[in-house]
């Protein structure tokens, strides 16, 4: 299962049905101490998504490439899977409802508070219903793709809906699809949704109850995060890693070092594409090479990005922001929500250094990053760089992510379920890199501003990165 742009969705035509969550929310009337609060990420994301006066609809880019348009941000994660054979529609609707009731994050609604913040209303599981909307027959593959692509981009950060479900039903197969606004979930959470719904459908269609592990609530996770950081002040020693990075970098946001043909802070429509970097054997060879120098593939990929940027004209010290998961392996391992912190990484990628030196430097930097990154990124901004709080990112930021999709819930069933993952990101102000490994190899999903120069820069960088990874895997060199 690769991470692809929504525009690359391939879907056969059929009968289109959609479902929306309908709920009676009660949290707004809860006493103040018990009122649910958003996570730090949600608070920041919601505030930064407010459309600016005179917004032309393309929006300003932020840390993950989102754009604030007329109605706010519309960035979303989507997943699809196939049901082979004639659909048992009652079983599918039971599976969808089971998933929404099971996951607290999918029962949340968000609204602006009088103080400019965000209020979270959470529906009780028993108060959740699904409304089905029959969209009728779709007769062509192009029409099916256009309909589902539009559907997957209907989430809205500030006004909702935040989670939408649909199916393209045919006589002998059905494509089930979901989209969730980034305010609610991270990418891993959507793989959880896919596996939960597919597993529940298989159970209900056979007359059984789903057997899924217990999950923790995201509101509880957000509340615990706030408790842990309530007493953190600017002089807290846990901020030292960030302070050192900001002093050397000149601020919290490392700049993307190559020319994108756009003024700092300006945003425009985004280009989203996925490129293959290594096939299955190449990925296995890279893993073996990285292990031989005491590192993993994630560290090797990070080193490869730094080296490739330097080869393309970037600096000989690589600085980037890296998303790191916070869900752990306990009660939130199968929860949905936004379980990510953003941390700074910094290491040398000078010409002449061999693979062991550079990958070792990346490994040591990653260890320092994790140990020194206990404080949520949003709290860091509020304490150390308040001028950037609740605002879109000020310029193109060097951002890179690595994810092994072989390890997510349900990965062993991705092939037979014909699972797919998609992103919908309409606008940005920079270039963002999501490396991901699947059973087929290593791929790069990138989002960048739609300018001629950015297209050239991206093409050159993808070429350099592919060659660098191939050399690392096959020859043990850069």
Which residues are CB-contacts of 29 (< 8 A; sequence separation ≥ 6)? none
Q: In this structure, are residues 170 and 18 in contact, taking their beta carbons and an 8 Å threshold?
A: no
Beta bridge partners of 271: 448
Supply φ then ψ for residue 387, to 5 degrees.
Answer: -65, -15
The pLDDT assigned to 73 comes to 55
Q: Is 116 left (phi over 0), alpha (psi -120 to 50) or beta?
A: left
pTM of the entire structure?
Answer: 0.92
Q: pLDDT tens string for the chain (478 positions)?
A: 999 998 888 899 999 999 999 986 554 455 555 678 899 999 999 988 876 544 443 333 333 433 333 345 578 999 999 999 999 999 999 999 999 999 999 999 999 988 778 999 999 999 999 999 999 999 999 999 899 888 888 899 999 999 999 999 999 999 999 999 999 999 999 999 999 999 999 999 999 999 999 999 999 999 999 999 999 999 999 999 999 999 999 999 999 999 999 987 778 899 999 999 999 999 999 999 999 999 999 999 999 999 999 999 999 999 999 999 999 888 899 999 999 999 999 999 999 999 999 999 999 999 999 999 899 999 999 999 999 987 889 999 999 999 999 999 999 999 999 999 999 888 899 999 999 999 999 999 999 999 999 999 999 999 999 999 999 999 989 8
Cα–Cα dist 261/243, whole Å: 31
pLDDT of 50: 79
Note whether 236 and 374 are within 8 A (CB).
Answer: no
Output the six-digit token pair for 4: 């692809």
CA distances from 63 to 101, 119, 219, 230, 373 (A): 30, 22, 23, 24, 17
Q: Walk me through the domains of the chain, giving residue ranges and CATH numbers.
A: 3-221 (3.30.559.10), 233-475 (3.30.559.30)
The residues with which 399 forms a beta bridge, in sequence order, are 321, 432
């Amino acid at each position: 299962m690769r991470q692809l742009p929504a525009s690359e969705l391939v879907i056969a035509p059929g009968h289109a049905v959609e479902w929306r969550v309908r709920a009676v929310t009660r949290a707004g009337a809860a006493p103040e101490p018990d009122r649910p609060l958003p996570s730090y990420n949600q608070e920041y994301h919601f505030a930064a998504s407010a459309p600016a006066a005179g917004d032309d609809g393309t929006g300003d880019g932020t840390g993950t490439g989102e754009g604030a348009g007329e109605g706010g941000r519309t960035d979303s994660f989507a997943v699809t899977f196939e049901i082979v054979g004639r659909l048992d529609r009652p079983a599918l609707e039971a599976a969808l409802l089971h998933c929404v009731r099971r996951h607290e994050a999918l029962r949340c609604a968000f609204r602006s508070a009088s103080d400019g913040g965000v209020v979270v209303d959470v529906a009780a599981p028993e108060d959740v219903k699904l409304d089905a909307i029959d969209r009728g027959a779709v007769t062509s593959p192009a029409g099916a793709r256009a309909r589902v692509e539009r559907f997957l981009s209907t989430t809205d950060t500030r006004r909702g809906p935040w989670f939408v479900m649909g199916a393209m039903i045919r006589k002998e197969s059905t494509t089930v699809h979901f989209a969730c606004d980034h305010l609610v979930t991270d990418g891993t959470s959507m793989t959880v949704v896919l596996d939960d719904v597919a597993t529940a459908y298989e159970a209900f269609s056979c007359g059984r109850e789903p057997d899924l592990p217990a999950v923790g609530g995201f509101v509880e996770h957000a509340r615990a995060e706030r408790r842990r950081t309530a007493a953190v002040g600017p002089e807290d020693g846990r901020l030292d890693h960030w302070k050192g990075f900001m002093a050397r970098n000149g601020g919290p946001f490392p700049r993307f070092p190559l020319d994108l043909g756009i003024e700092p802070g300006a945003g425009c429509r985004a280009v989203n594409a996925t490129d293959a970097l290594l096939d299955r054997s190449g990925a296995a060879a890279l893993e073996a090479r990285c292990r031989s120098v005491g590192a993993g593939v994630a560290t090797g990929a990070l080193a490869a990005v730094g080296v490739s940027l330097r080869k393309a004209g970037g600096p000989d010290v690589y600085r980037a922001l890296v998303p790191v998961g916070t869900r752990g392996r306990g009660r939130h391992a199968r929860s949905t929500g936004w379980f990510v912190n953003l941390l700074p990484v910094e290491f040398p990628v000078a010409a002449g250094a061999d693979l062991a030196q550079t990958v070792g430097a990346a490994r040591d930097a990653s260890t320092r990053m994790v140990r020194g990154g206990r404080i949520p990124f949003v709290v860091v901004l509020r304490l150390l760089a308040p001028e950037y709080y609740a605002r879109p990112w000020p310029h193109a930021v060097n951002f890179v992510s690595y994810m092994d999709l072989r390890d997510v819930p349900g990965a062993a069933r991705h092939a037979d379920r014909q699972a797919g993952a998609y992103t919908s990101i309409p606008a940005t102000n920079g270039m963002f890199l999501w490396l991901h490994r699947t059973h087929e190899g290593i791929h790069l999903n990138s989002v960048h501003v739609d300018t001629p120069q950015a297209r050239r820069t991206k093409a050159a960088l993808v070429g350099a990165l592919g060659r660098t990874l191939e050399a690392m895997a096959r020859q043990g060199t850069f």
